Chain A
Amino acid sequence: MAGVMTGFGNFTHAVVRAIPSSLAKEALRMNVLDVDLVKAQREHEVYVGVLKHKLGLQVIELPADESLPDCVFVEDVAVVCGDTALITRPGAESRRKETEAMRRALKELDLNIVEMSDENATLDGGDVLFTGREFFVGLSKRTNQKGAEILADVFKDYAVSTVPVTDGLHLKSFCSMGGPGLIVIGTSEPAQKALKIMQQMSDHRYNKLTVPDDIAANTIYMNLPSKGHVLLHCTPEEFPESAKVFEKLKDHMLIPVSNMEKVKVDGALTCCSVLINKKPKV
């Protein structure tokens, strides 16, 4: 029997959602940039393809909803850890309805669904960094204290520490897990500051992998039975310097995935999927 906190990075399923055409014009973004919808959709297809074919995950693809321009960023609407899924209350009001499809999908996967019903709480999954031993929750424009509290209440086994996010959209806009005990972190001052806070707040020791570009620090780590350590990260085309850093990870199966278009609407790699470890029924 698997114990508590084992198998970090081991995933069997992924939930993704297609890109609505409204994304190009209507999706929220911090900087005004034009998005090439077609390129974005192609990127996303590649992304899903990697999960499905290259990594062998069972991918649940939710259809796009034109009324929800940001719906491709499924990470923000659900936090899944173990058998429990917390359906969040996204900080952006326009995104609240994105949870509905996700809720259904996760229910079908037979996860324990917990709703964030408190109307004072907001939480974007992009602010939730799960390290395998604990949670860090960024307090950002999208996530507030109450949301973090609810998350802490849902995942009682784990320490939940809050990290102020003063710059950038989400906590994971400049960091992510690159392996067990390995935090990939951007070099910007806010990123480094956040890292320090996380290190201070944690009982555990984390190694850090610093990359020159903040957004390149958003990677997807998996530990798959057949593949070992897997890291999805930025492409050299996007961030040549950062990509070099990842190449130092000798133990990882490195998979560069392009994210040039989605990043324009503040979508990072992790934003586009919810990863789930579904144990086979006993």
Chain B
Amino acid sequence: MTTEVGSETEVRKEPEKAEEQPAAPEPAATNQTDEAKAAEQSANDHPAPATESAEAPAEAKEKQEEAQPADNATPQEGEDTPASPPASEKKGISRFLPPWLKKQKSQSQVGPKESQAAPKEEAGVASVKEEDGEKEEQAEAEQTSSPTAAQPQVEEEKINGEPKPEQKEEVKSEEKEEENHSTGSADTQPAKEEKAAEESQEKSAAEEENKEAEEGGEEKKDEEESPKPEGGHSFIKSPLKLTKKVKMVMCHVTMLDGSQFPCEVEKRAKGQYLFFKVYEALNLLEKDYFGLSYKDNADQTCWLDPTKEIKRQIRNATWQFAFNVKFYPPDPSQLTEDITRYLLCLQLRQDIVSGRLPCSFVTHSLLGSYALQAELGDHDSGEHRLDYISDFQFAPSQTKEMEEKVVELHKTHRGMTPAQADAQFLENAKKLSMYGVDLHHAKDSEGVDIMLGVCANGLLIYKDRLRINRFAWPKILKISYKRSNFYIKIRPGETEQFESSVGFKLPNHRAAKRVWKVCVENHTFFRLMTPEAPIKAKFLTLGSKFRYSGRTQAQTRQASTLIDRPAPYFERTSSKRISRSLDGAPMINVTEAQESAPTSGENGREPGLELSSDSKVEEEPSEGAAATPTEGTEMKGDEPDSSQQSGRLRVQGENIYVRHSNLMLEDLDKTQEDVLKHQASISELKRSFMEATPEPRPSQWEKRLTASPATSLRLQAQGSADDKQKSGEAAWQAAEVEIEETVVVEEIRVAPKGSVTITTPAVITPVAVESEVEKPKDEVMEEQKRPVSVSSDSEEEEEEEEAGEYHPQVTVSASVDQIKEEPEEEGEEEEEQQVNEESVAEPLPEPVVEVKAQPVPAVVEENSATEPQLAPVAEESPEDILVTPDEAPNGHAESPEDHQGPVALEEEEEEPRVNGDASHSETERLPQVICCSEPPVVKTEMVTISDTFAAQKTEIATKEVPIVHTETKTITYEAAQLDGSGDGEPGVLMTAQTITSESLCTTTTTHITKTLKGGLSETRIEKRIVITGDSDIDHDQALAQAIKEAKEQHPDMSVTRVVVHKETELAEEGED
């Protein structure tokens, strides 16, 4: 293995260098070569600093900061650090280094020299120091290289241990370097401070805290920024940092043939880098069908997002990955290269053996015979005795009879080339009903265990082994998740006038998000010509912006037509295969496979890994003991917590599905096991309302509101009612869910309020900012405001709050883009967001825009919006709303009524309006009157606002709004016709969401209020959008855009109130 690494890296060096500069997606070079690369990069970059002298240091700081916190974050590292692997170790290791490694070192030296030259010119002073730094770098290089060499041989466990000490040393060296650079460049002090901070970290924790706090904030900024526009810069910058501090981590990737591919990666490298390494090692061009999976802490298989840092995705899990097929091409014959087909075959063979891809006896035999032909060539009766086949595994449970059948069929393939045999294998495998179906455990509205199967064509619903419903992508208007619920909104059928929504309960929030992600990715890959552009700029589109970032099938097909190379030679597995499982104990393998399959089944791809060996040291023993071959076949109910993994696959019935799932989709992240096991209680299901109610936007906005402490409290109170939810989080999630449900959408009034706060650069705590902003609003806005106090930190951090929406429909421009997700990294990201807010936070002026749609009379029951009342309502309504999968199939054909109770129907009908989907965009919107209450100051803004909205506004009325803070200026534009009905009532807090970009922080809250009037019930949905920005922001423009976007998103809503709130002096307060 070592040799592989070495050779690869050497070969690659040049190409990578070239690539890094321009495309630069591969962040920091990770391998041994990394040092060299880094050096080179630095060389390239250094000129930049010269020109942009100011920027470079700053960047450096940032990076340092990032690195530091990271160090702190990982406990393991911290442990090792103190010992800080002294030079002696280095030397010791270096002695053992193979010659080729040393060569690399020399190369790395070269790199640094080059880099030196550039810096020297501009910062002559620093040059000396830099040299020192370089020396250190070299030392680092040695260290890093040594680990690589050693690690592959060592086992995974060591991975955690070894790299760390080295890393720390690197850090130190980096620090030093930093100093040098900083002196050379401009901002000496900041850099030093940070360095000091780092040192202090190592030494004393207390000192760290202060700086960490600051650093943390900055870090977060950086992180957030990176995905966005700045990403490009960050890449370029990163090299600089790299030179100084490169922390390397050893990744192990289990390939499809069962072999391990070790790859050293910079600790902060993005997934893309590892992808690249793997593809390169495989010599694979048609790579878009593949992905890397890993197991998260809950042992769920997840797909590694190329665009994000590996470390942030795997969190504390091991750096163990599996290379798998992510998108199963529906027609493998359209693949361009044989090697691609070969890899797909390997994946399918895994899938089959693991049981994820169920086959009949005949199919097992047939596919097995093609596999034999591909690997062994023609059957040779002399050479091939009957037992030659026993090394192969063709099925989860393999009988002598099957082997005989395989041999019999093998004989008929005489003359078939390996490529032909692969092609035949695929031609048959692709017809299997579970080919490419990624299964996820879920429950329907009645709490019945079902499976969600995501595939190229859409979403399949299984109950036991039966397909009970299917939603083709074109049928699906929107995909969303909220908490542990997953929703799809269905395009109305010919006979139906209204959209309907179907909701499913997943075991937990992460599972719901995984399903959602998989759906988004599969839809994008198979249905779209090009991936949707990430949603960045829109204020109103809050939440995380997950989207499939790779190429679509259409694109990859097109790209593969350009492949012009002789068919690459590749070695088929036989040797590896033997090493893998076949030799060992076939029986054991079988059991393992089954068991492991389930595990993997959840997430997908892991079976191969498990078979191979190391990956599941922990799990295997237990599972192995528990698992009997028979179990694999039989259905078992998953047990919730205890043996999630083992439980998954063992259940036969479920196994089947699970297996399917693994095979088909490659699944993203699924917790099938969890799902099944999990308790999703029926009541919860009922409560959970389908996304329909909230509408697309609301979900995004949900974050904030939910987060608000007040809300959460209520929620918890309500939630307490639910016994089923176990964790406190769960409890209050449930509560929230209820609320949402409550939100039956009959008539929708949405009042988005945008407040633009211009903040001074000073840092303010997020909470403070929000509260300030909102409070004024509350006062200003009459009843409508509820506990606007946006987000409590704790809540935001929790994953559950996240909600994601995705509109698969290409047709509607507006809706198409809405993939809403919340912080993908969940806890971390959210934290980051908050941090950013804080930093951004000095609220100056805030425009608040309220958009209200006019209430449409609805038949629905009235639920008083009052929070206390909400709980009961929630319970009732949810039931109606949820459609049982079983029913659904029939129901869809029919009218929505079939599925749902009367209430539900109505809701659905109105939903369109609420959502403002393009399809329903026609909905009535009434011209709104805007009233302005002007506090003394800002009048100009009023003008702007009115202009934006001019068409709709009839009147402008002025009100005086009480403003919370003395120094605040508030301008309120309010629609003349506020509904009296809605005003008095507290309403339900639907959602709260905050999106933070560089300069803007947008918080959206949604309230739903129901009123019963003369037999008609009205539901008012109010959305408040608070935009907080720093001083750079033209709040007029921000406001205008906010209104515009709000309009786009909710054509049926009107803006009723605009408040511009300027708080100049808040900075001080905010800081606290």
Interface residues of A (CB under 8 A from B): 1, 3-5, 82-84, 112, 133-134, 137, 145, 148-149, 152-153, 155-164, 193, 196-197, 200-203, 282
CB distance from A120 to the nearest CB of B (A): 13
Write the chain B residue with the least CB distance to A82. Answer: B362
Contact B412 A156 (CB under 8 A): no
Q: Name the contact of A282 in the complex, choosing from B408, B431, B467, B470 (C-beta under 8 A).
A: B408
Write the chain A residue with the least CB distance to B427. Answer: A3
B464 contacts chain A at the CB level, 8 A cutoff: yes
Contact B464 A149 (CB under 8 A): yes
Tell whether A201 pairs with B362 under 8 Å between CB atoms, given A133-B431, A157-B431, A193-B890.
no
Q: Which residues of A contact B892 (CB under 8 A)?
A: 200
Q: Which residues of B contact A134 (CB under 8 A)?
A: 433
Contact A145 B433 (CB under 8 A): no
Q: Which residues of B contact A203 (CB under 8 A)?
A: 455, 457, 470
CB distance from B937 to the nearest CB of A (A): 59
Write the chain A residue with the least CB distance to B887. Answer: A164
CB distance from A131 to the nearest CB of B (A): 12
B359 contacts chain A at the CB level, 8 A cutoff: yes
Write the chain A residue with the least CB distance to B429. Answer: A4
Q: Which residues of A contact B463 (CB under 8 A)?
A: 145
Distance, CA A167 to CA B325, complexed state (A): 44
Distance, CA A155 to CA B463, complexed state (A): 16
Q: Which residues of A contact B890 (CB under 8 A)?
A: 164, 193, 197
Contact A145 B466 (CB under 8 A): yes
Tell whether A159 pairs with B431 under 8 Å between CB atoms, given A84-B360, A201-B889, A282-B408.
no
CB distance from A81 to the nearest CB of B (A): 9
Contact A156 B413 (CB under 8 A): no
- Could you mark each residue 633-664 of chain B with 1 if its beta carbon is under 8 Å from any beta carbon of chain A, else 0? 00000000000000000000100100000000
Q: Which residues of B contact A4 (CB under 8 A)?
A: 362-363, 366, 428, 431-432
B265 contacts chain A at the CB level, 8 A cutoff: no
Contact A193 B894 (CB under 8 A): yes
Interface of chain A, main secondary structure: mixed
B1042 contacts chain A at the CB level, 8 A cutoff: no
B276 contacts chain A at the CB level, 8 A cutoff: no
Q: Which residues of B contact A155 (CB under 8 A)?
A: 360
Distance, CA A1 to CA B421, complexed state (A): 12
Distance, CA A120 to CA B409, complexed state (A): 38
Distance, CA A162 to CA B460, complexed state (A): 13
Q: Name the contact of A197 in the complex, choosing from B408, B413, B472, B889 (C-beta under 8 A).
A: B889
Q: Which residues of B contact A157 (CB under 8 A)?
A: 358-360, 362-363, 431-433
Tell whether A200 pairs with B470 under 8 Å between CB atoms, given A193-B893, A282-B408.
yes
Distance, CA A178 to CA B470, complexed state (A): 24
Q: Name the contact of A160 in the complex, choosing from B362, B465, B470 (C-beta under 8 A).
A: B465
Q: Which of A84, A148, A156 lies at the interface centre, i.e. has the most chain B CB atoms within 10 A of its CB?
A: A156
Q: Which of A4, A5, A84, A152 lies at the interface centre, i.e. has the most chain B CB atoms within 10 A of its CB?
A: A4
Q: Which residues of B contact A282 (CB under 8 A)?
A: 408, 412
Distance, CA A202 to CA B455, complexed state (A): 13
Interface of chain B, main secondary structure: mixed
Q: Which 4 pairs of residues, A with B, have the shortest CB-CB distance? A: A159-B433, A152-B465, A156-B358, A161-B467
Contact A3 B359 (CB under 8 A): no
Contact A160 B889 (CB under 8 A): no
Interface residues of B (CB under 8 A from A): 358-363, 366, 369, 408-409, 412-413, 424, 427-428, 431-434, 455, 457, 463-470, 472, 475, 653, 656, 889-890, 892-894
Contact A196 B893 (CB under 8 A): yes
Write the chain B residue with the least CB distance to A145. Answer: B466
Q: Which residues of B contact A159 (CB under 8 A)?
A: 433-434, 467
Contact A201 B467 (CB under 8 A): yes
Additional A-B contacts beyond A156-B358, A200-B889 (9; CB < 8 A): A3-B428, A145-B463, A149-B466, A149-B653, A156-B360, A157-B433, A162-B466, A162-B467, A201-B467
CB distance from A179 to the nearest CB of B (A): 19
Distance, CA A49 to CA B893, complexed state (A): 41
- Can you give 10 A-B contacts (C-beta < 8 A)? A1-B412, A134-B433, A148-B466, A157-B358, A159-B433, A161-B466, A162-B889, A200-B475, A200-B889, A201-B469
Q: Which residues of B contact A160 (CB under 8 A)?
A: 433, 465-467
CB distance from A281 to the nearest CB of B (A): 10
Distance, CA A82 to CA B359, complexed state (A): 13
Q: Which residues of B contact A156 (CB under 8 A)?
A: 358-360, 363, 656
Q: Which residues of B contact A153 (CB under 8 A)?
A: 465, 653, 656
Distance, CA A133 to CA B430, complexed state (A): 12
CB distance from B466 to the nearest CB of A (A): 5
Q: Which residues of A contact B455 (CB under 8 A)?
A: 203
CB distance from B474 to the nearest CB of A (A): 11
Contact A162 B366 (CB under 8 A): no
Q: Which residues of A contact B434 (CB under 8 A)?
A: 159
CB distance from B1002 to the nearest CB of A (A): 39
Q: Which residues of B contact A112 (CB under 8 A)?
A: 361
CB distance from B490 to the nearest CB of A (A): 10
CB distance from B360 to the nearest CB of A (A): 5
Contact A3 B424 (CB under 8 A): yes
Contact A5 B360 (CB under 8 A): no
Distance, CA A203 to CA B360, complexed state (A): 20
Distance, CA A191 to CA B743, complexed state (A): 37
Contact B360 A3 (CB under 8 A): no
Write the chain A residue with the least CB distance to B633. Answer: A153
Distance, CA A282 to CA B404, complexed state (A): 13
Distance, CA A178 to CA B684, complexed state (A): 46
Distance, CA A55 to CA B432, complexed state (A): 31
Contact A158 B893 (CB under 8 A): no
Distance, CA A149 to CA B652, complexed state (A): 12
Q: Which residues of A contact B653 (CB under 8 A)?
A: 149, 153
Write the chain A residue with the least CB distance to B464. Answer: A149
Distance, CA A96 to CA B408, complexed state (A): 37
CB distance from A66 to the nearest CB of B (A): 37
Q: Which residues of B contact A158 (CB under 8 A)?
A: 433
Contact A82 B470 (CB under 8 A): no
CB distance from B777 to the nearest CB of A (A): 46
Distance, CA A224 to CA B830, complexed state (A): 65
Q: Which residues of B contact A83 (CB under 8 A)?
A: 362
Q: Which residues of B contact A1 (CB under 8 A)?
A: 366, 369, 409, 412-413
Tell whether A200 pairs with B893 under 8 Å between CB atoms, given A4-B363, A155-B360.
yes
CB distance from B134 to the nearest CB of A (A): 60
Distance, CA A278 to CA B665, complexed state (A): 35
Distance, CA A4 to CA B369, complexed state (A): 13
Write the chain B residue with the least CB distance to A134. Answer: B433
Q: Which residues of A contact B359 (CB under 8 A)?
A: 156-157
Distance, CA A235 to CA B358, complexed state (A): 42
Distance, CA A5 to CA B363, complexed state (A): 10
Distance, CA A137 to CA B361, complexed state (A): 22
Q: Which residues of A contact B427 (CB under 8 A)?
A: 3
Distance, CA A4 to CA B348, complexed state (A): 15
CB distance from A181 to the nearest CB of B (A): 14
CB distance from A215 to the nearest CB of B (A): 22
CB distance from B174 to the nearest CB of A (A): 54
Q: Which residues of B contact A202 (CB under 8 A)?
A: 470
Write the chain B residue with the least CB distance to A84. Answer: B360
Distance, CA A3 to CA B424, complexed state (A): 8
Distance, CA A159 to CA B363, complexed state (A): 14
Q: Which residues of A contact B428 (CB under 8 A)?
A: 3-4
Distance, CA A112 to CA B360, complexed state (A): 11
CB distance from A152 to the nearest CB of B (A): 4
Q: Which residues of B contact A161 (CB under 8 A)?
A: 466-468, 470
Q: Which residues of B contact A164 (CB under 8 A)?
A: 889-890
CB distance from A279 to the nearest CB of B (A): 10
CB distance from B493 to the nearest CB of A (A): 8
CB distance from B238 to the nearest CB of A (A): 44
CB distance from A243 to the nearest CB of B (A): 29
Distance, CA A44 to CA B907, complexed state (A): 55
CB distance from B523 to the nearest CB of A (A): 15
CB distance from A76 to the nearest CB of B (A): 20
Write the chain B residue with the least CB distance to A160. Answer: B466
Q: Which residues of A contact B469 (CB under 8 A)?
A: 200-201
